[in-house]
Amino acid sequence: MYRIRMVDASDDDVADTLVDLHRLTFFDAATMPKFDLGAWWLAYEADDAVAFAGVVPSTYARNSGYFSRVGVLQRHWGKGLQFRLMRAVEARGRRIGWDSIVSDTTDNPVSANNFIRAGYRLYEPDVPWAWSHTLYWRRSLR
């Protein structure tokens, strides 16, 4: 049984856990997020943190959140954790009045499939913020 909890990333122990999970899920393939920005969640199995996600206000999409990162330890893949974390991010966005959540994937078909399954749609932002082959996703919260 997994539990999803919003966490205080300004707490040193929580920040250390987020950094550890990021390193274990992304290795050197992605820059370390600024965990002191936005809202963050951890997924636990018993007392062990096994996944994380974060959202920040989007700087590219009006009145939207940017789903900035999600990572799940490999031994917990296939348990629906990314999907559940996405739902937690969306619930937060609705509570604070955002119109949508946006994100992107690059060379990651598993995450792209999870976005599709979670109801996100491909879209073309006015100002693309990543690579030329990046896929951009948006889910309306209204």
Please say if the pLDDT value at position 32 is more than 90.
yes
**Per-residue pLDDT, 111:** 86
Task: For 54-89, write each residue's pLDDT tens digit.
Answer: 999 999 999 999 999 999 999 999 999 999 999 999
pTM for this one? 0.93
Q: Are 68 and 56 in contact (CB under 8 A)?
A: yes
Three-state SS for 15?
helix
Please say if the pLDDT value at position 108 is more than 90.
no
Three-state SS for 86?
helix
Helix 81-95 × helix 109-117 angle, to 10°:
50
